Amino acid sequence: MSKFRNARRSDALRCFEIETAAYEGDEAATLKKISNRIEVYPDGFLILEELGKIVGFINCGCAHEVEMSDEEFKELVGHDPDAPNVVIMSVVVDPVHQGTGLSRVLMTEFVARMRNMGKSAIYLMCKEHHVPLYQRFGYNYLHPSTSDHGGMTWHEMSMQL
C-alpha cells in the first residue's frame, strides 16, 4: 500500500541512491543537492513509500518567474515558498518499481498537494521520450529547453492548476 509523506533529513541517502539508479550520468542530483532540497523546502519534497521503504519521490522549488534553464535554482537559489509557480527538479521511481503505475500515483498526489497549497502552475523539464507520459498526466508541451543539464536535450512542460 502506498504511503506519502514529506522528506526528512534521514531520507537523503536513500533518495540519492534512487536518483543515481534512475537517471543517466550527470543528470542525477548530487547527495548535497538532495540534502539541500530536503532542508530548504521539505513541503516540496514528496516521498512515496511501499511497505515502509522509499520507492520514489518528487522534489521542487517555487518561483515568481520561471526560468527552467536556471542551474542555480536547482540548488533553490531564488526559491520562495510563497511563490505561485512550482518547478519540479526530480520525478523518480526506483528502477525496480518502474512500470508499475507508481509514477502516476506519485504525480497525482503531488499535484493535489500543490493545488491544496494554492499554487498556480507546475513546470518541469523532461527528455523527449517522456513528453507523452507527462501529457497523459495533464502537462502541456511548451518548447525545447535552452538547458543542457547533464549534456542532454530537454523539453519544457507545464500544467495550470
Where do the structural domains in the chain lie, given as residue ranges? 2-160
What confidence score (pLDDT) does residue 152 get?
Answer: 67
Rounded CA gap, 161 and 121, in Å? 5
CATH number for the region 2-160 comes to 3.40.630.30
In percent, the amount of the chain with pLDDT more than 90 equals 73
Sorting pLDDT into bands at 50, 70 and 90, what band is 127?
confident
- Above 90 in pLDDT, residue 149? no
Rounded CA gap, 12 and 68, in Å? 24
Q: What angle do CA 76, 82, 84 make, to 5 degrees?
A: 90
Q: What angle do CA 77, 31, 60 make, to 5 degrees?
A: 45
If one counts every other C-beta atom within 10 angstroms of the C-beta of residue 99, the result is 9
Least confident of 3-7, 25-29, 47-51: 25-29
- Above 70 in pLDDT, residue 46? yes
Q: In what order do the strands lie in the sheet with 2-6?
A: 2-6, 45-50, 53-63, 85-93, 121-126, 155-160, 140-144
- Above 70 in pLDDT, residue 105? yes
If one counts every other C-beta atom within 10 angstroms of the C-beta of residue 133, the result is 14
Please tell me the pTM assigned to this model.
0.91
Pull the grid cell for residue 113. Answer: 498537494
Sorting pLDDT into bands at 50, 70 and 90, what band is 116?
very high
